[in-house]
Structure 1
């Protein structure tokens, strides 16, 4: 697909478009992080502080951004991460997102708590979506979810392991998303009325706004406040590594563990037979004060990068950041906020344009560092001394 660039073009451009179009509580749900948002900010600066090593007079006529992630051929090493409530960022948002991802040639991951059900998403897809799982206390419901995803055609499961309890997201309390009472209702009404375009396009034309994959969990699946209360109570703090055996019994496909931030946990993921991991702090939305993905990635790659596929997320905001992640040893990246900002700010077409601009940025970074294949990107492309911590996976 030949890219056509113009405003908006960057993640920040689309972030401002999203701010102007979304009700305040939805924008802050998407944009915010846990507590004082220290980790949220660290995620972005972690990539910015990594310098690339520019090289010249190298034959870079045929730069190829294609790669393979967990057995799937991709136009570039990027996956759209699972995002709860994505269907409220644009009309039937997950459907628009999977179409954009398919058009560009990268995987899309559907959240357990997405608005659109897996059957609706897969019906719109030309390449099977990945499915993300939260472990709920109701194990029969989890088993039914896995069967549902498999029957719909999903073959890659992303199991989120860093949410035994929801994080303290102060913006959600201030805006009424995580609280109840007269003040909360008034705040939401004010914010909704201030965005009549969103009300008409998403809430009216895009309805019903319910958690499609769990629509049978409550009699009134359209009551998002009641549903959020139910799902928060379903997160299970008793889950341990032993539960991976249970998941393996109920899932025949590929399995990624998302939310690994420690070398010992990464090693354990290999021991239990995960097909890959995602180095992640949940986008800075869980425990404030933990390290950034960029900060933890090198040690984890050095420990297990030759034994399983390592992806990373958190703070990736451009194709250049994708290159930085690969240079630190990741096989690919997952992105969340950027694709949601683009979807909210520009719909399916906006998301497609953003992804194509990232691919061009990645291609340019490869060109000006003197590499032509994704597998050639490694520590030699960083402007710092080569050390064992920054070896490419598999070396």
Structure 2
């Protein structure tokens, strides 16, 4: 199969990853309307084509939170990445490091902070879920600092978990329910099974072994389900910022008023995000709220975005609307599930190539010069 676009990797991943895990990554909440809108709404943004301009010596290099990267793309935090491919977090982090873009490790990763940090040379970014057990949060932040993470990404939109129908229909839980359907999924994907048999990474590494009452997958699942904190408020950010002491990014901002509040927290950046359409079904797409949020903060805080990005053209659209950084979740998971580390690299290569071609055809040579003047209003 010739891989030309991210969708090719998606098709390959769907064949190679057990359905319950592929669907976990590729689904939204309830009717999935927001999940669908995230991708579809990019198509409403038209680019301004320019001709007969010097488009030589182009560059995609940029900065996010003061750090230099090869292009304005970051790998988003995604839970259970190690179930798309054995050692998934490690492989994805290595691919990102070699390509020169940031990798964000999820609290709910299979491979632990320490394991991923040991397998890479450059600092990771780490995503934090706020748990009711504040002592666990404090210790997790300390572990992130000890692992050399250069940014903390605090997720604000998961105080309560929205229902995802695909997961319930697939019987997704820890440990997985064994029935004819799940047995058949594993039996028909021997490559995936062999990879999983060769790794020791089967638990949620940032949690397992760090909580007294968590002794197996079942107790870990029970603990996690009860731990997301419904009382999380803006006041908690001050405590987290104090514990962390480094670059702080707030993820899950989808409203201009919330964005303005975020500018007063002392955070370094916000991510315009609806959790990939996995939380509030019926919320607007991330890209549709990017421009209003950029206008609301008036440059007082760096603005990033995620949700629905599938091409380098999408990256340029988001950049033109004011995003300093653009995060990819599902595209890199498709690559990982399809081809492991090589698939993540392929995803990044595709996006970079598409982005480079697009800035040229828009008459630009530097991605940092892209703006609303490149769009047809």
> How high is the TM-score relative to the length of structure 2?
0.96
Matched, 1:336 2:308: no
Which residues in structure 2 correspond to 1:4-153 (within 5 Å)? 7-153=2-148
User: What secondary structure sits across from 2:126 in the alignment?
Assistant: strand
Cα deviation for residue 167 of structure 1 reads 1.1
User: What secondary structure sits across from 1:257 in the alignment?
Assistant: strand
**CA distance, structure 1, for counterparts of residue 343 and residue 91 of structure 2:** 10
Matched, 1:165 2:167: no
Alignment correspondent of 1:250: 243
The number of residues matched between the two structures is 376
> Residues 30-50 of structure 1, C-alpha deviation per residue, up to 9 Å, x if partnerless?
111101100000000111111
**CA distance, structure 2, for counterparts of residue 103 and residue 372 of structure 1:** 24
On the 8 A contact 1:68/1:74 being kept in 2, the answer is yes
> Residues 219-245 of structure 1, C-alpha deviation per residue, up to 9 Å, x if partnerless?
66552x442332121000001001011
Alignment correspondent of 1:237: 230
User: What secondary structure sits across from 1:212 in the alignment?
Assistant: coil
**CA distance, structure 2, for counterparts of residue 219 and residue 229 of structure 1:** 10
**CA distance, structure 2, for counterparts of residue 168 and residue 198 of structure 1:** 27
Alignment correspondent of 1:155: 150
**CA distance, structure 2, for counterparts of residue 331 and residue 114 of structure 1:** 26
Alignment correspondent of 1:284: 277
Instruction: Tell which deviates more after alignment, 373-382 or 184-193.
Output: 184-193
Alignment correspondent of 2:375: 382
**CA distance, structure 1, for counterparts of residue 148 and residue 263 of structure 2:** 26
- Structure 2 regions of 5+ residues with no counterpart? none
Cα deviation for residue 383 of structure 1 reads 1.5
What do you get for the CA RMSD once the two structures are aligned?
1.7
Alignment correspondent of 1:191: 185
On the 8 A contact 2:89/2:111 being kept in 1, the answer is yes
Cα deviation for residue 18 of structure 1 reads 0.9
Q: Once superposed, which parts of structure 1, at least 4 consecutive aligned residues long, lie more than 3 Å away? A: 178-182, 184-187, 218-222
Cα deviation for residue 374 of structure 1 reads 1.9
Distance 1:281 1:289, change over 3 A: same
- Structure 1 regions of 5+ residues with no counterpart? 1-5, 385-395
**CA distance, structure 1, for counterparts of residue 70 and residue 267 of structure 2:** 24
> How high is the TM-score relative to the length of structure 1?
0.92
Which residues in structure 2 correspond to 1:307-318 (within 5 Å)? 307-318=300-311
User: What secondary structure sits across from 1:242 in the alignment?
Assistant: helix
